[in-house]
Amino acid sequence: MSFAPVLHAEWLKIRTLRSLCGTLLALFAVTVAFSALAGTSGTSDPEFDPLFTALSGVAPGQIAAIAFGTTAVSCEFHGGGLRLTLSAVPQRGRWFAAKVTAVAVPALLMGLVTAFAALVVARAGLGDAASGLTVGEQVRGVVGCGLYLMLMALFSAGLAALLRSGVATLSILIPFVLVVSFVIGDAAGTAADLLPDRAGQVVLYQTYDGTLGPWSGLAVTALWTAAALLAGAWSVRRRDA
C-alpha cells in the first residue's frame, strides 16, 4: 500500500476520535485564556518581556499538545488495535511515518492559530506595554510557538510508541515540563537550557540571554523529538504488535 492511503486512514482516526479533537480544542482554549490573563497583569517587573507574557499561556497549553501526541499513538495499543492496523499495512515504518505526519500537521496548524489568537488577546490587555514589539518579533513568536507545540506533540508521540502506554508517557512528561524542568534548571544552571521544553521556549521571548537563541533552541527541541521518534520507530519495528 502506498503512503497516501495510509496517511488518509491515520487522519480519519484522528478526526473521528473525540478525545483527540478535544485535546486540540483544549490547547487553543487554555493557551488563549492564560495569555489573556497574563495580558491583564501588572508589567512593573524589571524583567518583563512583552512577547513572552503574551505567549505565556503556552506553558499550561502545551500539556494538551503532549496529550494529543500521546493519545494519537497510545490508542493503537488498546484492544489489539495495532495488530489490525498492521494487518492492513504490513510496512511498519510506513505506518509509523503516516501516524507521525497525521499528528504533526494538525498540531502545527492549531499551534499557529493558537499562538496568533493568544498574541492578539494578550496585546489588547498589555496596551502600551507591548508597543515595543516589532512585526518581525511577533511573527517569530507566533511561528516559533506553532513549531514548538508541534515538536512537543511529536516528542510525546515518539515516547508513547516506545513505552506503549499513554499513562506511562503522560506520567513522565507532565511532571517533567511542569515541575522537574524548573527544579533542574534552578540547580543545574546553563546545562538545563538544553532540556527540550526550556530550549524550545526561548523562541517565545523578545530578548533572550544564554547559550541558545530562538532558532537554535528550537533545533535542540527538534533533536530531542527526532531521538524520541527514532526510539518509537525502533519499538514499532522490533516488538510484537
Per-residue pLDDT of the chain (241 residues; tens, 9 = 90+): 688 888 988 999 898 888 999 999 999 999 999 999 988 875 656 578 899 999 999 999 999 999 999 999 998 887 777 788 877 788 888 999 999 999 999 999 999 999 999 999 999 888 888 888 899 999 999 999 999 999 999 999 999 999 999 999 999 999 988 877 777 666 656 667 888 999 999 999 998 887 889 999 999 999 999 999 999 999 998 876 5
Number of domains in the chain: 1
Q: What is the pLDDT of residue 240?
A: 65
Interhelix angle 58-74/166-175, nearest 10 degrees: 160
Any domain includes 170: yes
Any domain includes 165: yes
Beta-carbon contacts of 34 under 8 Å, excluding residues fewer than 6 positions away, are 56, 57, 59, 60, 61
Any domain includes 232: yes
Q: What is the pLDDT of residue 51?
A: 93
**C-alpha dist (Å) from residue 231 to 13, 121, 186, 217, 226:** 23, 39, 29, 22, 9
Q: What is the pLDDT of residue 194?
A: 86
What is the domain range of residue 152? 3-236
Any domain includes 171: yes
Any domain includes 130: yes
Helix (H, G, I), strand (E, B) or coil at 49: coil
Q: Which of 151, 185, 189, 157 is nearest to 170 (CA)?
A: 157
Any domain includes 217: yes
What is the helix (H) or strand (E) element at residue 230, kind and residue range?
A: helix 214-238
Any domain includes 241: no
| Cα(41)–Cα(133) distance, integer angstroms | 18
